[in-house]
A and B are shown apart, each in its own frame.
Chain A
């Protein structure tokens, strides 16, 4: 596999029910490429958490996944409210999600820590009032 493969998804912010569809599709795509199950699981969980976050906090956004020879890169970008204090947001248990989100099983303050836990590299670029771009990589 010498070429870089890229996949793009529009993450719909209107429908919590359909959140996660991009991650499901990526999981299928990576399986077809013969990537190891452990790597696929790490990529899809990290992306799924990010997708859920985009739906909960930012009214959706864009998800781009690139597969290179060295790593799989996931870039999630939105035009939501941005993250005021990234260090605080990275703490397990910290959450700004509403009660209605919690009642749907999310908003436990584990999303960003989980994304870091399952990836080898993660960078958060966020400007309050403009949006957030999260870049994650899982090494192959």
Chain B
């Protein structure tokens, strides 16, 4: 799924790296616990989280993730934005809650470990 599609589906605002909206992600993970993200995520993924600190960006970077969605209108810190820009990670923010955001992405084909066949 293209990151631009995620933006549309979640009615999200782009915080940084807008030039990378054309990239694709192949799986998704929703969690506020970064160690769970580090344990279970595979493939090029998007991270959906309500956690706001610089370790969210570092975790995504370690996992080669290219997009993070902050739910419940959370705003990233200036440090997070700087780190995301350095790492080439698209940062999105949406008013939707975690459960709804994950459900919308899942029902549109972005599942836990792979994209559903169309």
Contact = CB atoms under 8 A, between A and B. Distances in A.
A20 B62 CA distance: 9
Contacts of B54: 17-18
Nearest to B86: A24
Contacts of B118: none
A20 B39 contact: no
A116 B98 CA distance: 30
Interface residues of B, number: 20
B58 A20 contact: yes
A19 B55 contact: yes
Q: Which of A24, A37, A102 has the most CB of B within 10 A?
A: A24
B33 interface: yes
Interface string B33-72: 1111011000000000101011110110111100000000
A16 B55 contact: yes
Contacts of B49: 105
Interface residues of A, number: 27
Contacts of A110: 33, 35-36, 38-39
B79 interface: yes
A128 B104 CA distance: 48
Interface stretch (A3-11, A41-49, A71-79, A83-91): A41-49
A113 interface: yes
Q: Which of A17, A41, A111 has the most CB of B within 10 A?
A: A17
B35 A114 contact: yes
B39 A52 contact: no
Contact of A52 (B55, B56, B61): B55
A117 to B, nearest CB: 7
Contacts of B61: 24, 27
Given A20-B58, A114-B38, A105 B63 contact: no
28 contacts: A16-B53, A17-B54, A19-B55, A20-B58, A20-B62, A23-B58, A24-B58, A45-B38, A45-B62, A48-B38, A48-B58, A104-B51, A104-B53, A104-B55, A105-B49, A105-B56, A105-B59, A106-B35, A108-B33, A110-B33, A110-B36, A110-B38, A110-B39, A113-B39, A114-B35, A114-B38, A114-B39, A117-B39
Given A18-B54, A104-B53, A110-B35, 17 more contacts: A16-B55, A17-B53, A17-B79, A23-B58, A24-B58, A41-B64, A48-B59, A104-B51, A105-B34, A105-B55, A105-B56, A105-B59, A107-B35, A108-B35, A110-B33, A111-B35, A114-B35
